[in-house]
Amino acid sequence: MLKNSLNRNQKGDTIIEVMIVLTILGLALSISFATANTSLQNTRQAQENSEATKYAQSQIEALRAVACVNGVDDCTPPLQLGTDAPFCLIPSGITYDARDDVGDECKQGVDNRYKITLERTNAATNTFTATVVWDDIKGVEQNSVTLSYRP
Judge whether 30 lies within some domain: no
Q: What is the pLDDT of residue 89?
A: 75
For the entire predicted model, the pTM comes to: 0.69
Judge whether 3 lies within some domain: no
Residue 129 domain boundaries: 46-149
pLDDT by residue (tens digit) across 58-107? 888 888 877 655 544 455 544 455 456 677 777 655 555 545 554 556 78
Residue 37 pLDDT exceeds 60: yes
Judge whether 134 lies within some domain: yes
- The DSSP-derived string for 59-91 is HHHHHHHHHHHTT-TT-PPPGGG--SS-EEE-T
Judge whether 132 lies within some domain: yes
Judge whether 2 lies within some domain: no
Judge whether 1 lies within some domain: no
Q: Hey, how many other C-beta atoms are within 10 angstroms of the C-beta on 106?
A: 26
Q: What is the pLDDT of residue 122?
A: 79
Give me the number of domains the chain comprises: 1
Judge whether 96 lies within some domain: yes
Judge whether 104 lies within some domain: yes
Q: What is the pLDDT of residue 96?
A: 53
- In this prediction, residues 137-149 reach a mean pLDDT of 89
